[in-house]
Structure 1
């Protein structure tokens, strides 16, 4: 049985500096897909001069952040003393846990000459017991992202989070969850099945694709029903198309989000702000 579509949306603009950003999750239909509570698409853009894309140092608590860089370079600093820069195809993952301040800057990839940026940022909600843990951090370069070719030379799949067909990401998970980047060649096909009660969404960054015989446009975010079933993805274009597929088991604890914090109660949100203004998250040392 094929899974049915629950809703689609193209999100809302949330630009930062020179970056064109579409906020796709949360949206008016859903607060979360599995543990994923936030998704920004930093749309493809060619920059003709020096960029203005810095967000500045800001706090997080109760979540893990994940930046997946399709094109560009992403520089990370945080108040736990972590620093790294990843380039096109790389990932920045940070478990905020009980509180951290970080600063990320996306720029054109200095290793290439195309001056383009294209990226995604996800927030992954932590279970209550993990929200109180110490922060952690990983920088994963493009060559270290698990990847394999699909059958019949249809394209490839990258496992950003979770596992698939012998591939496993090194990013820690705290519930059943997955995030895949799939690229299908012209006339390529990909089929995947899910059990009951797994929340699944897809996003088409640039070009159209067909899900279970229904065509969707580039820029569309699609959520599917929670019944067991399969998703058949077809590319009928004459060029490749990309798909992000993600989700996991439902988050069953209360979700209270305000600003950069995602906790389980309003009291915990107030405590997150109190601790931040009290200086317990530390400071970033840019040296």
Structure 2
């Protein structure tokens, strides 16, 4: 969903991949394929299912439905993920998102890090009259703050509204913000958008009014932050500030400087 023909980035977010709801009948033991990253933080948010993470820095974790995993690639890491249905529930469906969050140049040189956040640890604001809620996956909202580190002003909200409900979100000036509608149509600022659409807003201060005019519950992902003003050069799994840094990222990877994944237990 990002980048696309309208936008290459939204705040620090430079990539969004959406795993549409899919039925998965069996649990698999193999990952999706070990691969490197450098210069970014990856964020996996799983709505249905579970995600197993393992990387060359020795991090291993499993998150379940509603949880998130954040990995700072920093100066280079190899990681793999295994996406399955949630072993803690009866649901056999998987659905989720992966974002890439661009790091400031100074943080691109730091050591990798990893944080797993289970569903119950994600801050949540309940709306009046049980009309819906807002989850803070990244950043802050009012007095709620995510456990995921911020290297710039950034946010990722998952907003759910019951039938007939509406909710305004105030945005500061010069904030880059976009919305993604996973499954249902939603009215944003008096305009109806279709399920699966990516919507980018202007940088003027004001409110984004989310209105559910349907008879079913709707979900909206709202994300963005302050503009990333440093040069952005992306190639493959690397996002750096110059073509020279991209070449160095590949050279270090092929030289084995990112390490290798060593699991503590047999998958």
Does 2:161 correspond to 1:162? Answer: no
Which of 179, 182, 200 is 2:156 aligned to?
A: 179
- SS, match of residue 269 in structure 1: helix
Does 2:234 correspond to 1:252? Answer: no
Deviation at 1:111, TM superposition (A): 1.1
TM-score w.r.t. structure 2 length? 0.96
C-alpha RMSD of the superposition: 1.2
Specify the alignment match of 1:208 in structure 2: 185
Specify the alignment match of 2:48 in structure 1: 71
Partner deviation per Cα, 1:205-262 (whole Å, 9 max, x = no partner):
0011100100011111100011112111000111110000000000000000000000
- Name segments (4+ residues, structure 1) moved above 6 Å: none
Which of 229, 232, 239 is 1:262 aligned to?
A: 239
* Whole-Å separation in 2 of the counterparts to 1:170 and 1:49: 32
- SS, match of residue 77 in structure 1: strand
Q: Which has the larger displacement, 171-180 or 142-151? A: 142-151
Deviation at 1:48, TM superposition (A): 3.6
* Whole-Å separation in 2 of the counterparts to 1:233 and 1:194: 13
Runs (5+) with no aligned partner, structure 2: none
TM-score w.r.t. structure 1 length? 0.90
Deviation at 1:154, TM superposition (A): 2.0
* Whole-Å separation in 1 of the counterparts to 2:45 and 2:190: 29
Deviation at 1:192, TM superposition (A): 1.1
Does 2:151 correspond to 1:147? Answer: no
Deviation at 1:50, TM superposition (A): 5.3
* Whole-Å separation in 1 of the counterparts to 2:67 and 2:25: 23
Specify the alignment match of 1:103 in structure 2: 80
- SS, match of residue 244 in structure 1: strand
* Whole-Å separation in 1 of the counterparts to 2:163 and 2:240: 43
Specify the alignment match of 1:12 in structure 2: none
Which of 172, 177, 194 is 1:195 aligned to?
A: 172
- SS, match of residue 247 in structure 1: strand
Deviation at 1:105, TM superposition (A): 0.9
Specify the alignment match of 1:34 in structure 2: 11
Residue 42 and residue 53 in structure 1: after superposition, are their counterparts in 2 closer, same or farther (change >3 A)?
Answer: farther
